Homo-oligomer: A and B are copies of this chain.
Amino acid sequence: MNPPKPAETQTATLAEIAREAGVSAPTVSKVLNGRADVAPATRSRVEELLRAYGYRRRRAEATRSPLIDLVFHELESAWAMEVIRGVENVARDAGLSVVLSESAGRLTPGRTWADQVAARRPHGVILVLSELDESQQALLTSRSIPFVVMDPAGDPGADVPSIGATNWQGGLAATRHLLELGHTRIGAISGPSRMMCSRARIDGYRAALETAGVPVDPSLIMAGDFHHEAGYRLGLKLLDREDRPTAVFAGNDLQALGLYEAARELGLRIPEDVSVVGFDDLPVARWVGPPLTTVRQPLTEMAEAAARLVLDLGRAQEKPVATRVELATSLVVRSSTAAPTG
């Protein structure tokens, strides 16, 4: 009835893997440590066996560097800074430094991004809107490097620990706010439909309309991406028509600012002629004119939660159960929304 000792959870030892791969144990070690001086074919063979046997480096073997890896799909994101701050806060308290990287286009021949991480031996990896494929997951797992996905774009999978926000609730709250002000013709601009966070926001918007008995008009829902330019371009389309909506729920704050620009260009005043709600509550939302009503996504707190979770996973002796945490979004009412006129 005793719990299994860590060693017993190993399905194969390093020596057994070496034997099966027909290489020496130090060669397997080199692969585990992400060293460059291993032939690509050997590396793949060893990685495959590590994966097949579910090999996990034991804690005693894993000398960790005082680092946390923070990986963005691309650093262009306007809210990257909020996330960096959150991870930095937790890392500092734990005496760790943050290694920043981009997964997009980072690959060097023969050595993947995950190899580089394995070579660094950080305490953990936080991935922001980046998907980890199965072989990358296996690679990190075999090195006992825990990872957490923050705000996953897609479905991170049931066994991937992740931190998100209540996107659906946020879309619901934003749209209810507009309905309560008296709007019934409410447009929406979405983020990319492949991102679950984006779909969830629009689904919340629909749910608010439907539960209020307001029919959903598909022509008022524009599919975009999360950049300023999409808000501007699709904002022009939405607002430059006879039956324009009196309010728009934008997919995020940057889109909302693009929408501001479109409204200015068309000579429409915010909120008199059109109300606008954003999503994220970036610092800039307070500074624009008029200050933006938006759904606050607690990005810094989410990043802190992700960093704490990844450190907790690193301390755990056993493989942890799957963990998914969603932090609450909240509506912040400023001056870009008002009752419809006329």
Q: Is A23 located at the chain interface by the 8 A CB criterion?
A: no
Closest to A105 in B: B92
Q: Given A97-B116, A98-B99, do A260 and B283 touch, yes or no (CB 8 Å)?
A: no
Tell me, yes or no, whether A106 is within 8 Å of chain B by CB. yes
- Whole-angstrom CA separation of A283 from B261 in the bound complex: 14
Task: Identify which of A2-10, A81-89, A132-140 touches chain B.
Answer: A81-89
Nearest CB of chain B from residue A105's CB, rounded to whole Å: 8
The reply to whether B284 and A99 contact each other, CB–CB distance below 8 Å, is: no
Contacts of A100 in B (CB 8 A): 84, 88, 97-100
Q: Which of A101, A257, A287 has the most CB of B within 10 A?
A: A287
Q: Produce 1/0 per residue, A99-124, CB < 8 A to B.
A: 11110011010000000100110000
Does A80 lie at the interface of the complex (its beta carbon under 8 Å from any beta carbon of B)? yes
Q: Which residues of B contact A49 (CB under 8 A)?
A: none
Contact B106 A102 (CB under 8 A): no
**Chain B residues near A214 (CB-CB < 8 A):** none
Q: Closest residue of chain B to A81, judged by CB?
A: B81
What is the bound-complex CA distance between A108 and B78, given in angstroms? 32
On chain B, the residues within 8 Å of A75 by CB distance are 81, 84-85, 88
List, in ascending order, chain B residues with CB within 8 A of A84's CB. Answer: 75, 80, 84, 100
Say yes or no: is A233 at the interface (Cβ < 8 Å to chain B). Answer: no
User: Which residues of A128-169 are within 8 A (CB) of B?
Assistant: none
- Interface residues of chain A, those whose CB is within 8 Å of chain B, are 65-67, 75-76, 78, 80-81, 84-85, 88, 92, 95, 97-102, 105-106, 108, 116, 119-120, 228, 254, 257-258, 260-261, 264, 283-284, 287-290
Some 29 contacts from A to B, beta carbons below 8 A apart, are: A65-B120, A66-B116, A66-B119, A75-B81, A75-B85, A76-B85, A80-B84, A84-B84, A88-B101, A88-B102, A92-B101, A92-B102, A92-B106, A95-B108, A97-B116, A97-B120, A99-B99, A99-B100, A100-B100, A228-B287, A257-B287, A257-B288, A258-B287, A260-B287, A261-B289, A264-B289, A284-B287, A288-B289, A289-B289
Further 7 A-B residue pairs, CB within 8 A, beyond A78-B283, A98-B99: A65-B120, A66-B119, A80-B81, A97-B99, A257-B288, A284-B287, A287-B288
